Amino acid sequence: MFKSPEDLLSFISDEGVKFIDVRFCDLPGVMQHFTVPASSFDNETFTNGLAFDGSSVRGFQEIHESDMLLLPDPYTARLDPFRTEKTLMMNFFVHDPFTREPYSRDPRNIAKKAEDYIAESGIADLAFFGPEAEFYVFDSVRFSHSENASFHEIDSIEGWWNTGRDEEGGNRGYKTRFKGGYFPVPPVDHYADLRDKISLKLEEAGLTVERAHHEVGTAGQAEINYKFNTLLHAGDDLQLFKYIVKNTAWEEGKSATFMPKPLFGDNGSGMHCHQSLWKDGVPLFHDESGYAGLSDTARHYIGGILTHAPSLLAFTNPTINSYRRLVPGFEAPVSLVYSQRNRSACVRIPITGDSPKAKRIEFRCPDSSGNPYLAFAAMLMAGIDGVRNKIEPPEPIDKDLYELPPEEQADVAQVPGDLNSVLDNLERDH
């Protein structure tokens, strides 16, 4: 949002900002924060930074070497739409307080290093990422785990299981069937107004919303798409997106979750990730003579993604629950092939018309449970390895992969079925 510290400091003064919300990302992917008065935030902050205890942050430092330093990234500064007092939220980079070097475990620094690497490689100078993070909206979330019992229970006014429930004013029906949410108009769709409120807040925060709709699942499953960005800023955008979705739902008395598979028997929530490479202002993935209009660079990039997918999922699908989603029958991609238009393939080539600028690939395996900075960087490195080594992907398959006869299905590689297998693959793929 701001190109320089001077622009940022002028805005703080002119707009009467009261507080700066200092944000950075831990290793699992959760944004952390603390707040400082705007009156104490000045030019020296950009050189001296702000100290914090790294031993209390997951994946960072041990207690005997806990002191760490944060330096602001003014480009990410935006007004927080939820704080009572006028507050500017801003992402920071983590640095070593003694050497002043970027911290090796700072996810934002890792994303920046990935961007720097492709520029230095000469293969490309920009990598664009456009994640599509699906989520559910619940009215109630109850759970407990103790020494002698455990349970969880979620509820939604829209849930198909509530067709027979007594409701205040009478049960008026219009519940969404399992796998029936894509996408009837209201009153079957109970959450159009909530998506509108989220979309307006996203626009106010600087994201360009492209479309919003109910997704396939019951219980308010939704998708709101916004414009792509370069790798580091795409990670920032996704963290901002999740913050706004969750807090807008909270203000409306709801709870939004990006959990990959919160409901048994219905579709999970993925984070399909559109990607493209550019160099000197020219898109590198387009060649009208190639399959689906793909260039050799794009095909080899896909080869890298598919070859490394069994280990790549450690970053793009890093939770046990991720593999409850990656099963056949729920529109989840489990076959390690690519195809145009085909949503049952792990890599899809969207139909983009004749525009070279719009040519991209879509990796459909990821979900939103992990760290976007690490996930995007890992995908980029896998794709670049494919380009460097001219890795050829398997032949594209333009048919429903869920309905292949057994003899054909046996020849199609599948994603690992659990996190342990993925971690074993990651260890072998160092």
Q: Could you tell me the maximum CA-CA distance found in the chain, to the nearest angstrom?
A: 69
Q: Pick 5-103's CATH classification: 3.40.50.620, 1.10.10.920, 3.10.20.70, 3.90.950.10.
A: 3.10.20.70
Average pLDDT score over residue span 288-300: 94
Q: How many CA atoms lie within 13 A of 145 on its CB side?
A: 0
Integer Cα distance of 241 and 220 in angstroms: 17
**308 labeled part of a ligand binding site:** no
What is the pLDDT confidence band of residue 404, given thresholds at 50, 70 and 90? Answer: confident
Average pLDDT score over residue span 147-158: 94
Integer Cα distance of 52 and 103 in angstroms: 13
What is the pLDDT confidence band of residue 279, given thresholds at 50, 70 and 90? Answer: very high
**274 labeled part of a ligand binding site:** yes
Architecture of the domain made up of 126-428: 2-Layer Sandwich (3.30)
Task: State which H helix or E strand residue 248 sits in.
Answer: helix 231-251
User: Is the pLDDT reported for residue 78 higher than 90?
Assistant: yes
User: Is the pLDDT reported for residue 123 higher than 90?
Assistant: yes
Helix/strand/coil percentages in the chain, nearest 5: 35, 25, 40
Averaged confidence pLDDT in the chain: 94
Integer Cα distance of 21 and 35 in angstroms: 4
Structure tokens at 380: 């980029």
Phi, psi of 199 (to 5 degrees): -60, -40
Domain boundaries in the chain? Answer: 5-103, 126-428
Strand partners, 340: 349
Report the range of poorest mean pLDDT among 133-142, 161-170, 254-263, 302-311.
Answer: 161-170
Taking alpha carbons only, the member of 340, 365, 364, 363 closest to residue 351 is 340
Integer Cα distance of 69 and 2 in angstroms: 22
227-246 residue pLDDT tens = 999 999 999 999 999 999 99
Q: What pLDDT is attached to residue 407?
A: 80
What is the pLDDT confidence band of residue 62, given thresholds at 50, 70 and 90? Answer: confident
**83 labeled part of a ligand binding site:** no
Average pLDDT score over residue span 252-270: 96
- pTM for the model: 0.95
**Catalytic positions, please?**
53, 132, 134, 215, 223, 272, 343, 362, 364
What is the pLDDT confidence band of residue 400, given thresholds at 50, 70 and 90? Answer: confident
Return the percentage of the chain with pLDDT > 70, whole number.
99
User: Is the pLDDT reported for residue 316 higher than 80?
Assistant: yes
**164 labeled part of a ligand binding site:** no
Q: What pLDDT is attached to residue 131?
A: 98
Provide the 8-state DSSP code for 357. G
**364 labeled part of a ligand binding site:** yes
Considering only residues 4 and 273, tell me which one the structure prediction assigns the higher pLDDT. 273
**275 labeled part of a ligand binding site:** yes
Task: State which H helix or E strand residue 345 sits in.
Answer: strand 345-349
User: Is the pLDDT reported for residue 99 higher than 90?
Assistant: yes
Taking alpha carbons only, the member of 393, 264, 389, 277 closest to residue 330 is 264
**227 labeled part of a ligand binding site:** yes
Q: What pLDDT is attached to residue 330?
A: 66
Average pLDDT score over residue span 362-378: 97
